[in-house]
């Protein structure tokens, strides 16, 4: 009991330490390869890193062994203990100059060519199929964490430990907004939003954060489609018919419309899977044309 | 020996290594491989960690500890986050959530974490407080602990101590912290095992007895 009164505040961990707002990147002078560091500061206890973090690192490393072309390369994971309460985990990634957000912003006024959109969608879905087949749900797909190399190669980033907790609601599917349970279809919805955005080159309006706006595009789902385990009743919403998708995304071709609608299906169980989306007729047309643009 | 389920060869091996606690014949004993020298283990781990860190540092010619480049194959450059995809931005993880590390203001003392580990540990392992605390406010936390099986025994007194200790300045972190530690803690395994050998009462019941 003697030491009771001595419990005052003590420095626990340095919060503002380090040079934030900057990123370290490097060029390997022998290979010419670019790498960048991303550090994640993890709270620890006397057992060291939380087991969830260890699992995530293990998962990232396992995925890395497949060397998938549409997933950002993770070259190394380095842990340093900063204090008893904090460990800094530094992830060494390949460095890619821009993400899809910048890419779309920098696109010529005429917009991206149909072939280019098709090619990028194909790559995006390839990466997604890879993640899903490894039981990884990205949960936060958006242009900011899809990297585009100077050769037009798409690389998914920011899953697992690398994830930055996001407040972006634009790409969130209805089941997430309704706080229903969700799984891999969430990523397909987000991909659908991104698909539409590639044509429009701005935030897809049918994916705006408010749920009613989302309904104004896809229409109010039927009673049967409405999830049973959510607090929000279907009756809360004014019944609206779906808007023709071409009104929202004018330049899309008919196959593209079909695919987009399948990706933006309200019911996650009815929504097309990534692997089936990749098999969609949209990608079958002009297969050769897409190949040559690579 | 009949109540220990080990193949005879494994048993022999244990006996040969003198790690098998032959003198303790109880029905509850999970201490299969002898007691662990935690200090030694800790030292070994520290050494190993340092070794790994040195290797990392060499491989990337970057000092990860102080976050500064060294001379070598990699030509390091510090660039603003605006010039590079947001994905590469640092982040802070606490529990299951992560936030970008850039705005320092975001979660001020989000680190509810751990007032001070050493002191806490000291308190945890301190002998039982003589003053029994009958008003156990922290039931919820305790229940969790009990369910986690192990270490309940040692932990309970410490909970009490802590509560009485901190009456002057109780903060919420007291409870959070403890819970976190308790769930994961393995260190106490050995000791709680020994303790349980003293009394025939199954682990789970001991704390209940204490509450009275």
Tell me how many helices (H) and strands (E) chain A has.
11, 7
Give the residue extent of every domain in chain B. 36-94
pLDDT digits (tens, 9 = 90+) for B172-208: 555 555 444 444 444 444 444 444 344 444 444 444 4
In this complex, do A15 and B111 lie within 8 Å of one another by their Cβ atoms? yes
A140 is catalytic: yes
**Residue A245 confidence (pLDDT):** 72
Superfamily assignment of B36-94 in CATH?
A: p27 (4.10.365.10)
Neighbours of A285 (CB within 10 A): 15
Residue where a domain stops, chosen among A94, A114, A139: A94
* Nearest CA-CA partner of A274 in A193, A160, A192, A171: A192
In chain B, the residue whose alpha carbon lies closest to the alpha carbon of A166 is B99
pLDDT confidence of residue B159: 42
ipTM greater than 0.90: no
Per-residue confidence in pLDDT tens, chain A, 294 aa: 444 444 555 544 444 333 457 899 999 999 999 999 998 888 887 777 788 888 888 888 889 999 999 999 999 999 888 888 888 889 999 999 999 989 988 888 778 888 999 999 999 999 999 998 988 888 888 888 899 999 999 999 987 665 544 445 667 777 766 666 667 888 898 899 888 888 875 554 444 444 555 566 676 777 777 776 666 777 767 666 677 777 777 788 889 989 998 998 888 888 999 999 999 999 986 554 444 444
| Active-site pick, A67, A76, A119, A140 | A140
Of A3, A78, A161, the CB nearest to B64: A78
Asked if A38 lies within 8 A of B90 by C-beta distance, the reply is yes
Q: Strand A98-99 relative to strand A146-148: parallel, antiparallel, unpaired? A: antiparallel
- The total number of structural domains in chain A stands at 2
Same domain assignment for residues A81 and A102: no
Closest residue in B to A156 (Cα) is: B87
What confidence score (pLDDT) does residue A60 get?
86
Q: Which CATH number does the domain housing residue A190 bear?
A: 1.10.510.10
State how far the Cα of B52 lies from the Cα of B23, in Å rounded to an integer: 41
In this complex, is the C-beta atom of A246 within 8 Å of any C-beta atom belonging to chain B? no
Q: Which residues of A106-134 are buried (b: 16+ CB within 10 A; e: fewer)?
A: eeeeeebebeebbbbbbbbbbbbbbbbee
**Of the candidates B73, B111, B185, which has its C-beta nearest A12's C-beta?**
B111
- If asked whether residues A137 and A176 sit together in one domain, one would say yes
How long, in residues, is chain B? 212
In the DSSP assignment, the letter for residue A71 is B
Q: What tokens were used for B19?
A: 């790690």
In this structure, the answer to whether residues A52 and A153 fall within a common structural domain is: no
Mean pLDDT across B30-42: 84
CB pairs under 8 A between A and B: 203
Q: Are residues A105 and A51 in the same domain?
A: no
Q: 3-class SS at A8? A: coil
Report pTM. 0.62
A108 and A211 belong to one structural domain? yes
Q: What is the pLDDT of residues B77-134, one digit of tens each?
A: 998 888 889 888 887 765 555 566 644 333 333 334 344 434 444 444 434 333 333 3
Q: What is the span of the domain harbouring residue A23?
A: 6-94
Q: Which residue has the tokens 């749920």?
A: A211
pLDDT of residue B73: 93
């Amino acid at each position: 009991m003697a030491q009771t009164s001595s419990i005052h505040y003590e420095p626990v961990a340095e919060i503002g330490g380090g040079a934030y707002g900057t990123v370290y990147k490097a060029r390997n002078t022998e290979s010419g390869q670019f790498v960048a560091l991303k550090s994640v500061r993890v709270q620890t206890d006397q057992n060291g890193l939380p087991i969830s973090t260890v699992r995530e690192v293990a998962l990232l490393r396992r995925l890395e062994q497949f060397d998938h072309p549409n997933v950002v390369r993770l070259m190394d994971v380095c842990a340093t203990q900063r204090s008893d309460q904090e460990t800094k985990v530094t992830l060494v990634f390949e460095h890619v100059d821009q993400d899809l957000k910048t890419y779309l912003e920098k696109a010529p006024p005429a917009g991206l060519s149909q072939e280019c959109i098709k090619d990028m969608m194909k790559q995006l879905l390839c990466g997604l199929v890879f993640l899903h087949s490894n039981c990884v749900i990205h949960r936060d797909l958006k242009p900011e964490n899809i990297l585009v190399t100077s050769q037009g190669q798409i690389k998914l980033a920011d899953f697992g430990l690398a994830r930055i907790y996001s407040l972006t609601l634009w790409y969130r599917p209805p089941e997430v907004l309704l706080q229903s349970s969700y799984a891999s279809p969430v990523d397909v919805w987000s991909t659908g939003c991104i698909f539409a955005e590639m044509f429009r080159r701005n935030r897809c309006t049918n994916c705006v954060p408010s749920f009613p706006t989302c309904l104004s595009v896809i229409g109010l789902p039927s009673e049967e489609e409405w999830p049973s385990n959510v607090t929000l009743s279907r009756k809360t919403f004014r019944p609206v018919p779906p808007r023709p998708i071409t009104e929202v995304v004018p330049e899309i071709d008919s196959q593209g419309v079909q695919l987009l609608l399948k990706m933006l299906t309200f019911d996650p169980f009815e929504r097309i899977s990534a692997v089936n989306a990749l098999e969609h007729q949209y990608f079958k047309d002009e297969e050769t044309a897409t190949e040559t643009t690579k | 020996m009949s109540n220990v389920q080990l193949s005879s060869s494994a048993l022999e091996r244990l006996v040969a290594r003198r790690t098998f606690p032959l003198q303790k014949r109880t029905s509850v004993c999970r201490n299969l491989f002898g007691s662990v020298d935690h200090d030694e283990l800790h030292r070994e781990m520290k050494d190993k960690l340092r070794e790994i860190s040195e290797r990392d540092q060499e491989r990337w010619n970057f000092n990860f500890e102080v976050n500064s480049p060294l001379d070598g194959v990699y030509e390091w450059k510090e660039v603003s986050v605006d010039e590079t995809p947001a994905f590469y931005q640092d982040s802070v993880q606490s529990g299951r959530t992560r936030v970008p590390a850039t705005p320092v203001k975001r979660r001020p003392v989000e680190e509810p974490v751990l007032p001070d580990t050493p002191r806490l540990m000291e308190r945890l392992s301190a002998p039982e407080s003589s003053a029994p605390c009958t008003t156990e406010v922290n039931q919820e936390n305790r229940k969790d602990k009990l369910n986690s099986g192990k270490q309940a025994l040692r932990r309970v007194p410490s909970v009490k101590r802590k509560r009485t200790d901190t009456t002057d300045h109780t903060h919420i972190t007291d409870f959070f912290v403890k819970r976190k530690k308790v769930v994961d803690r393995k260190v106490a395994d050995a000791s709680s095992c020994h303790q349980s050998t003293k009394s025939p009462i199954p682990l789970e019941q001991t704390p209940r007895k204490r509450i009275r």
